Amino acid sequence: MRKKDQKRKNSLLQGFGAAIRNRRIEQNMTQEELGEAAQLHRTYITDVESGLRNLSFLTMERLADALDSQLADLIAEAEATEI
C-alpha cells in the first residue's frame, strides 16, 4: 500500500472513531454502556474511538444502531472530520 493510501486509511479510521466518540458523549454514554449496547467489549470501543481498529461493515452498523444513528451519517461525519 502506498504511503498516501495508508495515511488516508488511518485518517478515515480516526475520523470514524471521533464520530463515534462525539455521538456517544452527546448521548451521555460511557464506553462501557456503548459496548454493552453494541455487544462489544469496552476496550474495543476505546480502540475504535482511537482509530486503532479497522472495523467490519457489520460492526460499524452495530455501533450506529447502539447510538441510534444512521451509519451513513457517521461515515459522512468521519469524512468531514478526518484527522
Q: What is the rounded CA–CA span in Å between residue 10 and residue 54?
A: 9
3 SS3 class: helix
- Ordered by where they begin, the domains of the chain are 3-80 (1.10.260.40)
Q: Residue 5 pLDDT more than 80?
A: no
User: What percent of the chain shows pLDDT beyond 90?
Assistant: 80
Q: Are 38 and 66 in contact (CB under 8 A)?
A: yes
Q: Which tens digits make up the pLDDT trace of 10-42?
A: 889 999 999 999 999 999 999 999 999 999 999
